Every structure is written in C-alpha cells, then in structure tokens.
Structure 1
C-alpha cells in the first residue's frame, strides 16, 4: 500500500485498518474515537506524515522495519488509547522532530533489532521500549507522569545529546537496562524519576550525566565495567547505591553524589578504584556513607551528619585531597597499603562523640602540613604497618 504526499486516509469516526502482504508507505492517516491498525505482513511500514486518532488505540506492526521519516511523521492518540509499535525482525526509527504521543495511555515500542527514537511521550501511563537484539538510541525526550518508563536493550542504551532526557514526573519509576552493552548519557542529559526510583544497569560500562529523583532510591550497576559520573547524582530521604565491576569515577567538580536527609550512600568499585576529581562531593545527608574499593581510593570531599563514614581500600591505598567529616558518629578509614592526607585541606573530622580510626595495614600513614585529624569528644586511633607521619591531631 502506497500513499502519495498529501494523500489522506480518513476513517471519520470509525476504524482504519490497513494491511499489506509486503510493505506500506503512508502519508496522512486519521480517524476520531476509533482504532487505527496497520500491518505489513512481510515487509516494512514507512510513515511520511501523521497517523492520528483520539481515545482509541493505534497499532503498527511490521515484519521488518517501522520508520517515521521526517518531523511531520507523528503518531498521536489523544486521550485514552494506547500506541503500540512493533518492528518484528527489524528497527524502529524516528527522524528528528517526529513525535510518538500516547495521550494518556500506554506507549509500547518493540523492535527485533534496534531503536533510534526522537520524541516519545504520554501522561499518566507507562512507556515500555525494548530492543530485543540490538540497541536503543534516544535523540530527544522520553517522558511521562505518574507512571513508569522502562527501556531495555540487548546491547547498548545511548542518550545521544543534551535533549535526550528521560523523565517520569510524579510517582513513576525509571528503569534503563543495557543488558550486554554500555549505558551512555551525554552531557546535560537528565534522567529524572520524579518521586519514583531510578534503576540503571549495564552489562558493561555506565557513563552518566545528570541523574535525580525525589524521596526514592537510585541504583546504578555496571556489571562488567566502570561507572563514570560526569555530573550530579542526587535524591533526598532515600538511598543511593553505585556499583562498578571495575572503577567508579567522579570526573569533575559537578560530579556530586548527594542524598539529603535520611538515605545512605554506598559506592563499590569491586575490582578497581574509587576516584573523585577536585571539588567533587559525596554527601550522605544524615545517613551512612560507605565507600569500598577492591584496589585504591582517591577522594575529595566526603561528608555526612550524625552517621558513620566507612572507607575501605581492600588491596591498595587511600588518598584524601579534601575533608572527610561527620558529626556525632564514627569515621573509619582502612587501607591494605598506605593512607595519605595529601594536603592542608585533607582534614578528617568527627565533631561530637564519634571516634576516628585510620589504619594503613601494610604501609605508611602520612599527614601533610596543616592537615587536621580531629575526633571531637571521641577517640582517635592511628595505626600503620610501617611509618606514621603526623601533623595536627586532636580530640
């Protein structure tokens, strides 16, 4: 079935059903309050203009690919009426400016191979995006409200540019999974769970920019690679958990991890290092901060209030370039090799009743000039397998 440019198929207020044994090339397809069903039994569906209805389902299924070729190729079901698009053995592709809009109902996009998406939205309903054998690339927003967003790819998930925001405002969760590949977020892209959870998982590496939610947990896992954070990861009154199979890196002064209020921060570099750039802050709010590296840690600003800080380098060393501080709670720093308080900013302070314990198990404990170790009203215990060099130590 082929429609020339400017041609319209209009069902009035009744269903539009288009079926081809091979492929369909469509222009304007519309109806009102009734279903649109489009099927290419052995080929592909190509849309060059709008496909639209109201309060009814739009279903597009192709044996091969489904393509929306330009900015006019929108799929819109206003009101209640889901949008379901299936490219059984191929790809779903949206040109720049194309919009898939579920109105106030579910959007389901399933590709046997990969998906390259532009604008995808609905309100008060879920968005489910699946690339069964390939990857998902988002070039613009994917957004809903008070509902879940789930993006799953067999390979990679890429938020391609600063417009590629994934947002569920209100109570919905955001879950992104790159099963056997990388999860990559470009600079100034935002993943926002609203008041719902954010769960980000990759079979290999995770590279993040802005990740946030409100009063819900954030969990980031790189099962076979590094976690690289290039901007903030933040929530309030909820936990943040970041796990890299190798390294976890916070690359610049924007790379803060913040859980304000109650909500522990746990960061694990299973086989590698935890590294903070100058100006980066890890803030547990009023809950525990636990940093564990299979090798070493190079830290900048680490803080919480009224809760413990536990820092462990299982086979390597700990180097602090700035403050490590809490109040009314303990600070424990343990390294298999050396512990170095690198400069005059590298103060380790527990105000109030908490203890400070620093152990360089098989190496040296070194404190630079004008660095301070302060136990408040608690004990200070400093131990090294080799040499101890101290500057200001008090309790």
Structure 2
C-alpha cells in the first residue's frame, strides 16, 4: 500500500464522499450530522457525493438534500427517506489502484460515478465509528476524515478506552464490565459482582452498552430491583455492558482538532444538569436540545488543565482529525476523563462545533480543516 499522500489532479476539485446512516442505533443522528456537513462543504472548492447506508446495510446514492436530514417535530430522519424503493447500490473501490465509485442497478450495466479523493464518514456507533469502515478504506487506499482503525476501535469500546487511559496515566472513574458469556452462562455471579461494586462505590449506578454512543441504552439505577432490566436494556444495543459509579461534579467537554502542527484543544464547555431529565440522555441531547455553556465557567488553571488532558487523551488513543473528550470536574477540584468520541455529534448546535466556534473556527472552516487533514495524511501504516 502506498505510503505517499495522494491528491487529486489539479484540473479538478477534490471529490468528497460523505458517508452516513448505517446499521447502528445511532443511524438517525448520523443522518442529521451528514445534513449539516453537506450544507457546510464549500461547493466552490469541493465536489460532493452523498452516500447513505440504510439500516439494513445497503449503500445507496442519496439526494443531496440537507433540508430533509434534520429532526423535525421530534421525528428522526433516515437514509431510506432520501432514496427511492428498489434503487441500485453504491460500491466503493476495493482496489488501491482505483478510486472509482460504481453504481449498479438490477439488470443494468454498472455506472462509474467517478473517483473519490477523500471519504468523510459521519457514521456513529458500530459498523462505522468502530474501525470497521476505516479498515475497509485502508484496504482500498482511500483517504478519510478522522481516526484510524485502532483509535476508532478503542474509542468505541468504553472498557478498552479506559484501560488505555489508565496505561497513559489519565484519571478514570471506577467501573466494572459484564461480558456477554458471563451474563448468558452465570447471570447470578455477574449480578453479584455488580452488587459488590455498588457496595464499594455506592448507588446510583449507570448501566451502559460498552460499544454504543449518543447515550443510547443507558439507565441510571438507584436500587437493586431495577438492575436486571437495566442490564437487558444495555444488551439490546451491545452484549457487553459497562457499569459505572456516579461521579459527583460538573460535566465538562473539550474538543481536539488536528492542525498542521499537531492537535490543539478548544475552549471547554459545560453540560449543566437538565431539570426535565435524570441525566444527559438521548432526548436531552437531540430532541429537547439541552444547551451547554460555551465556554465553561472555569478558572484559567482549570481550563488549561482540561485542555492538556484532552490532548493527552487524543494522543494516548492515537487519534487523528478530531475528538471530543468528556470529563467530570469533581467536587475535590480534580478532573476525571469519562470517555472520548472519535466522531462526535457534528450538527451546528452540537457541542464540538460550538466549542470550536467559540475558539475562532467556524463550522465551515472546521469541515474544511478536517477534509484537508485527511488529504494530507498518507494511507497505510502511520
């Protein structure tokens, strides 16, 4: 595989394939993100090819219609709404010597849609943000925005993310993991471990899918009687479950963006408690659009500390492009890192773009910087 960075012919504009949707429970949020990215891409500088992945995994050429990709009247959008029934499928290149995208319909000769210079994957969750898509693009030799295979996989799995953070000396909160085989073969032993964890660290507990995002499948559990239902709810999204104790303090987020000279941190933001929600869940984030405070009301020392920790987390996981790092500022004044998100929510009202807007980088410039970073980056091992 070539180690040289690849760039389009000077005779034409770089062609960006925006890939979105997917098979995960975060399908709709990916569509919303893609709509915002499509709206922001400078069409005088780039050609754009919108490619949606349906909930059953079919790759489709979709309408370039950002106005149809938003949450309206509390209804979530989907790739299926942007395609016609029975349409053909899109196939990305699998040969590193070719970057031509092909569109095939039943009973028709496949059509070559042209070369793609960079893929902007705005998929959230499994089958897109977890290294699977990134591995396919690496095999194809196509540059792409964001983290590589390893960083994407680690950033998706809350257990191994915390293990990496611990290995690099970053502070993490207490947690316990329930693996699929444990719950299926000896659920009583798994329950006992969780109860022992609660006895040591106290109630409430947060029961989460280990490999999911957007607060999908998370339950705050205040008593033993609700534990089993919470584990089963998490397992609807991922058979591996992570159990976390309540960290008392303020929720602080910080964005990291790759510049030519390396990663830099944005001003941090704070997620204040949402009165109508027990915690910052899916509806608070996306339906009720709970507003965060940007910038966060922190001291200069606290701001510098969380920015340092965010960049350290970016480097610890070997990230590229962008990351949103989420922290708790505990009552004792110390920061604890909760998780990173290698493809954070990316609508204009999402926290990551808002933090960079406050840091002097507009949404359109943010999109452009990510595309340019991907075009500069060599494919293959790095």
TM-score range, shorter chain: under 0.3
- Structure having the higher strand fraction is 1
Normalized against structure 1, the TM-score is what? Answer: 0.18
Q: What's the TM-score, normalizing by structure 2?
A: 0.18
- Greater relative contact order (Cα 8 A, min sep 6): structure 1 or 2? 2
